[in-house]
C-alpha cells in the first residue's frame, strides 16, 4: 500500500474529526442570544469605524517575496547536501564545494544588500 | 503507481474541481484558497507518481510560500465581491466565447488522441533516495552553469522587488 | 496487503492522531504546574489527585460554551480555520518514526493465519522524510490567515498577517540550519539517520578515522551551532514565547484568535502543541539519536528480550515499545525545555523578532553550511 494513501486517509480523518468537534461544540452550547451589540467586532471596547485600507503596508509583500527567493535557494541546497559525500568520495569534492559556494556567495550578496538598504525594516 | 486508478482519479478530480473553483469563486480570497487546495493536491499527485523530492518541494515552495504570498496580499486589499467580474462589450464577449471554444477543442483533441493501453511503470520504492541522487547529479554536474545563472536570476528578482517598491512618487519613495 | 494489514495501518493512523491529541492535556497540565513551580506558587491542585482531572474538567467546560460567530464574518472560513490548524501538525508527526520497526511472524487470530509482516511505528515512510515535514509545516500559515480574515476584525487581520510573516521568516532559518546535518548524514530519511547515529563518536580527521569511545555518535556533537539555530527557529514556528507576540494578551488582544471561544480556540492550541511535539521529535531524531539509546542497537535489545524467554513476536513488540519509550522520554525533555523557556524569558518586540530571523539566524545558518561543507571536503577529500 503506497504511503500516499495513508497520508490522504490521515488528512481526511483529521479534517472529519475537526468538523465533528466544531459541530459538537455548536450543539452542546446554550441557545445563543445574538444581539447586535454582541456581534460587533471586539476592538478593546471602542466602536469600530471600518477598516482603513488606503495605505497598505508593503513590508508584508516584501517579506513574502524574499522568503520565496530564499526558500528556493534552500531547496537547491537540499539535494546538494545529500549527494555531497558521494562527490567527495569520488574525488570531485572541491568542484562541488566551489560550485555551491559561488551560488551561496551570490545569495549572501543579495542578503547583505537587503539588510544594508533596509528593505526589511519593521519599525 | 501512476496507473493505480484508486489513487489517481480522486486526486485528479479534486484538482480539477479546485481549479474550477479558482475561476468561478466570487470572492478573491476564496479563489486563492481554492488555488492552495489545488497546489497541495498537486504535491500529493507528485508523491503518488514517484517523484518524491519534487512532491516535497511542491508542498514547501508552491503551497507553502507562493500561495501564502497570494493569500497575504489579497487579504491586505479590501476587495468587494464581484468587483467588476465581467467586462461589457461585444469584442470582449467574442474573445471570451472564442477562447472557451479553443480550450474545449484542445482538450477534446488531447483526449481523443490518447492511446489507452496500460504502460508498465516500475513502482518507485518510496523509501529510496535514488531519484534525489539522480537529480543532484544532473543539477550539479551536467547543468551546473545553468544553476549558477539561476542564482543570479534570483538575485536580480530580489533587487528588483525592493527597487520597484521604492519607485519615485510611490508611498515608500526613498528620495 | 490483506485485511489485517490494512486494519493495522488504519488503526496506526488513528492512534497516532489520538496520541497527539491526548498528549495536549498532559502538556497543559505540565505547563500549568511547571509554570507555578517556576513562579513559586501552586498550580491546579484541587481537582483530582495533583490536579490531574483539571484538564478534563476544562475540556468539558470548553465543549459547553456558547457558539459565537461574529457578525459580518465569513462563516465557513471562520469555522474552517481551527480545523485546518490541526492538519499540518498531525501530518508532520505521522512522518517521524516513533519507534523501531518490528516484524511479525505468522500468527493465529480470529481463526485465520495472518502472514509475516514488516511494520514500522511510523504513519508513512517517504524517503524524503524531512522535505515532506518542512513542506507540511509551512502550511500552518493558512490557518492563521483564515482565522484572522474570517473574523472580520481589523486587529485580528493584522495580527494574523504579522504572525504569518513571522512564521515564514523563521521557516528559512529552520530549513537552512538542517542543511549542515544533511551534509553529514547524506540522507533525508529519518530511519537511516537514526541508524547512522549509533556507536561511538566516529569521524574522519585528515583522512584517518578517529574514534572517541565515550561519546555517542549523535548529531549534537557534529553540529552544535546548527542545533541551536534549529531550536530557536522552532520556537518561532510554533509561536511560543519568547516569540509569541501574535497571540500576546496585551498587544493585539489575542491576535488572530480574538473572536474565537470554546472548543474552536482549543483546537488552535492543539495545533500549537502539535507543532511543539513535532519540533521536539525532530530535535531528538536529528541531534540526539532518535529512538535508540547510546551504544545500544535495537537488535541488542531484541536479543535481550529473546533471552528473557519472549517468543519472536513478543520480543519484537517489546523492542518497539522500549524504543518508543526512549523517544518519548527525549521528546518530553525537549517539551519541558519549551515550557521552561516560556516562563523565563520576556517577549521580543516584533521588529526585534524579525531582525533576529533575517539578520542573525539566516547569516549564521549560511555560515554553518559553508563551514561544514568546507570541513567535510578538507577532512575526507584527502
pLDDT at C1 over 70: no
pLDDT in tens, C329-371: 999 999 999 999 988 888 888 888 888 889 999 999 999 999 9
pLDDT in tens, A80-101: 998 888 888 887 788 888 888 9
What pLDDT is attached to residue C128? 84
User: What average pLDDT does the segment B154-173 reach?
Assistant: 82
A75 band by pLDDT with thresholds 50, 70 and 90:
very high
C83 band by pLDDT with thresholds 50, 70 and 90:
very high
Longest dimension (CA), chain B: 65
What pLDDT is attached to residue B1? 44
Identify the CATH number of the domain in which residue A78 sits. Answer: 1.20.58.1610
What pLDDT is attached to residue A45? 56
Average pLDDT, chain C: 84
Q: Which residue among A9, A18, A59 sits closest to C13, beta carbon to beta carbon?
A: A9
Which of A79, A81, A86, A96 has the most B C-beta neighbours within 10 Å, making it the best mutation to test the interface with B?
Answer: A79
Which of B36, B76, B154 has the most A C-beta neighbours within 10 Å, making it the best mutation to test the interface with A?
Answer: B154
pLDDT in tens, C60-72: 888 888 777 776 6
pLDDT at A47 over 90: no
Q: What is the ipTM of this complex?
A: 0.86
Give the Cα separation of C17 and A11 in Å (integer): 10
Taking only residues 108 to 167 of chain C, the set having a beta carbon closer than 8 angstroms to any beta carbon of chain A reads: 123-126, 131, 151-157, 161, 165
Q: Which of A67-76, B105-114, C196-205 has the highest mean pLDDT?
A: A67-76
Nearest CA in chain B to C161: B72
pLDDT in tens, B44-81: 998 888 788 889 999 999 999 999 999 998 888 766 65
* Partner B contacted by A87 (CB < 8 A): yes
Say which residue, B83 or C297, is predicted with more confidence. Answer: C297
Give the Cα separation of C53 and C42 in Å (integer): 16
* Partner A contacted by C61 (CB < 8 A): no
Alpha helix segments (H runs only) across chain B: 5-24, 28-48, 52-57, 67-76, 90-113, 130-137, 144-165
User: What average pLDDT does the segment C40-62 reach?
Assistant: 80
**Cα dihedral sign for B36, B39, B41, B44?**
negative
Nearest to B162 by CA among B153, B147, B174, B151: B174
What pLDDT is attached to residue C77? 86
Q: Chain A: list its partners (3+ Cβ pairs within 8 Å).
A: B, C
Taking only residues 11 to 40 of chain A, the set having a beta carbon closer than 8 angstroms to any beta carbon of chain B reads: none
Is residue A77 one of the residues assigned to a domain? yes
pLDDT at A56 over 80: no
Contact present, C168 and C138 (Cβ < 8 Å): yes
Beta carbons of A100 and B140 less than 8 Å apart: yes
Beta carbons of C142 and B36 less than 8 Å apart: yes
* Partner A contacted by C264 (CB < 8 A): yes
Distance from CA of C142 to the nearest CA of B (A): 7
User: What average pLDDT does the segment B104-114 reach?
Assistant: 87
Give the Cα separation of C167 and C133 in Å (integer): 15
B66 contact residues in C (CB cutoff 8 A): none
- Give the global pTM: 0.88
Beta carbons of B72 and C145 less than 8 Å apart: yes
Give the Cα separation of B154 and B145 in Å (integer): 14
A65 band by pLDDT with thresholds 50, 70 and 90:
very high
Is there a cis peptide before residue C242, judged by omega within 30 degrees of 0? yes
User: Cβ–Cβ contacts within 10 Å for residue C155, how many?
Assistant: 23
Domain enclosing residue C322, as ranges: 3-380
User: What average pLDDT does the segment B23-31 reach?
Assistant: 84
Average pLDDT, chain A: 81
Give the Cα separation of A110 and A91 in Å (integer): 31
Give the Cα separation of B59 and B48 in Å (integer): 13
* Partner A contacted by C169 (CB < 8 A): yes
**Cα dihedral sign for A57, C360, A96, C223?**
negative
Is residue A86 one of the residues assigned to a domain? yes
Nearest to A4 by CA among B52, B104, C377: B52
Contact present, C277 and C94 (Cβ < 8 Å): no
Distance from CA of A50 to the nearest CA of C (A): 8
A66 contact residues in C (CB cutoff 8 A): 358
How many domains does chain C divide into? 1
Is residue A122 one of the residues assigned to a domain? no
pLDDT in tens, C8-44: 888 888 888 888 888 888 888 888 888 888 888 887 8
* Partner B contacted by C69 (CB < 8 A): no
pLDDT in tens, C244-289: 766 665 555 566 677 777 788 888 888 889 999 999 999 999 999 8
Amino acid at each position: 500500500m503506497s504511503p500516499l494513501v495513508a497520508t490522504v486517509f490521515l488528512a481526511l480523518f483529521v479534517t472529519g474529526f475537526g468538523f465533528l468537534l466544531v459541530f459538537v461544540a455548536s450543539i452542546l452550547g446554550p441557545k445563543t442570544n445574538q444581539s447586535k451589540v454582541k456581534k460587533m467586532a471586539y476592538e478593546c471596547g471602542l466602536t469600530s469605524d471600518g477598516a482603513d485600507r488606503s495605505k497598505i503596508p508593503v513590508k508584508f509583500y516584501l517579506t513574502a517575496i524574499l522568503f520565496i527567493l530564499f526558500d528556493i535557494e534552500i531547496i537547491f541546497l537540499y539535494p546538494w547536501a545529500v549527494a555531497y559525500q558521494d562527490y567527495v568520495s569520488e574525488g570531485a569534492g572541491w568542484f562541488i564545494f566551489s560550485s555551491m559556494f559561488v551560488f551561496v556567495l551570490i545569495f549572501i550578496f543579495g542578503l547583505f544588500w537587503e539588510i544594508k538598504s533596509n528593505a526589511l525594516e519593521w519599525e | 503507481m501512476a496507473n493505480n486508478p484508486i489513487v489517481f482519479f480522486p486526486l485528479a478530480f479534486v484538482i480539477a474541481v479546485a481549479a474550477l473553483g479558482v475561476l468561478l469563486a466570487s470572492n478573491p480570497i476564496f479563489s486563492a484558497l481554492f488555488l492552495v487546495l489545488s497546489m497541495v493536491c498537486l504535491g500529493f499527485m507528485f508523491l503518488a507518481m514517484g517523484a518524491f523530492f519534487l512532491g516535497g518541494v511542491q508542498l514547501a515552495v508552491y503551497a507553502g510560500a507562493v500561495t501564502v504570498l497570494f493569500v497575504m496580499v489579497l487579504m491586505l486589499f479590501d476587495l468587494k465581491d464581484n468587483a467588476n467580474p465581467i467586462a461589457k462589450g461585444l469584442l470582449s464577449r467574442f474573445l471570451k466565447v472564442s477562447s472557451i471554444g479553443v480550450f474545449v477543442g484542445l482538450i477534446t483533441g488531447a483526449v481523443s488522441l490518447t492511446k489507452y493501453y496500460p504502460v508498465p511503470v516500475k513502482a518507485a520504492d518510496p523509501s529510496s533516495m535514488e531519484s534525489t541522487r539522480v537529480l543532484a547529479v544532473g543539477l550539479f554536474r551536467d547543468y551546473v552553469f545553468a544553476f549558477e545563472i539561476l542564482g543570479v536570476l534570483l538575485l536580480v528578482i530580489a533587487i528588483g522587488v525592493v527597487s520597484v517598491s521604492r519607485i519615485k512618487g510611490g508611498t515608500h519613495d526613498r528620495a | 496487503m490483506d485485511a489485517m494489514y490494512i486494519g493495522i495501518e488504519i488503526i496506526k493512523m488513528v492512534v497516532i492522531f489520538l496520541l497527539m491529541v491526548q498528549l495536549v492535556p498532559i502538556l497543559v497540565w505540565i505547563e500549568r504546574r511547571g509554570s507555578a513551580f517556576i513562579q513559586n506558587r501552586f498550580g491546579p491542585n484541587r481537582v483530582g489527585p495533583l490536579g490531574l482531572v483539571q484538564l478534563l474538567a476544562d475540556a468539558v467546560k470548553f465543549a459547553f460554551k456558547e457558539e459565537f460567530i461574529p457578525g459580518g464574518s465569513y462563516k465557513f472560513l471562520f469555522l474552517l480555520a481551527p480545523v485546518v490548524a490541526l492538519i499540518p501538525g498531525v501530518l508532520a508527526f505521522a512522518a517521524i518514526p516513533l519507534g523501531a520497526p518490528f516484524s511479525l511472524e505468522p500468527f493465529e487470530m480470529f481463526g485465520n493465519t495472518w502472514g509475516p509482516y514488516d511494520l514500522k511505528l511510523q504513519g508513512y515512510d517517504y524517503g524524503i522524510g524531512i522535505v515532506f515535514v518542512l513542506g507540511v509545516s509551512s502550511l500552518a500559515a493558512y490557518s492563521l490567515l483564515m482565522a484572522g480574515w474570517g473574523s472580520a476584525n481589523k486587529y485580528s487581520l493584522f495580527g494574523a498577517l504579522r504572525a504569518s510573516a513571522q512564521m515564514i521568516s523563521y521557516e528559512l532559518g529552520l530549513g537552512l540550519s538542517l542543511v549542515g546535518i544533511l551534509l553529514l548524514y547524506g540522507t533525508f530519511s529519518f530511519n537511516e539517520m537514526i541508524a547512522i547515529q549509533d556507536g561511538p563518536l566516529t569521524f574522519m580527521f585528515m583522512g584517518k578515522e578517529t574514534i572517541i569511545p565515550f561519546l555517542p555518535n549523535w548529531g549534537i556533537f557534529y553540529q552544535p551551532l546548527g542545533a541551536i539555530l534549529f531550536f530557536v527557529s522552532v520556537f518561532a514556528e510554533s509561536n511560543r514565547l519568547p516569540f509569541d507576540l501574535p497571540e500576546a494578551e496585551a498587544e493585539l488582544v489575542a491576535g488572530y484568535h480574538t473572536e474565537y471561544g470554546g472548543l474552536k480556540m482549543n483546537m488552535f492550541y492543539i495545533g500549537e502543541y502539535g507543532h511543539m511535539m513535532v519540533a521536539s521529535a525532530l530535535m531528538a531524531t536529528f541531534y540526539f539519536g532518535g529512538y535508540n539509546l547510546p551504544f545500544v542497537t535495537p537488535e541488542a535489545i531484541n536479543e535481550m528480550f529473546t533471552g528473557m524467554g519472549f517468543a519472536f513476536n513478543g520480543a519484537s513488540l517489546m523492542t518497539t515499545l522500549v524504543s518508543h519509550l526512549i523517544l518519548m522520554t527525549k521528546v518530553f525533555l525537549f517539551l519541558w525545555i519549551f515550557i521552561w523557556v516560556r516562563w523565563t524569558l520576556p517577549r521580543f518586540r516584533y521588529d526585534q523578532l524579525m531582525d533576529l530571523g533575517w539578520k542573525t539566524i539566516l547569516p549564521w545558518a549560511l555560515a554553518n553550511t559553508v563551514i561544514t561543507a568546507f570541513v567535510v571536503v578538507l577532512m575526507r577529500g584527502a
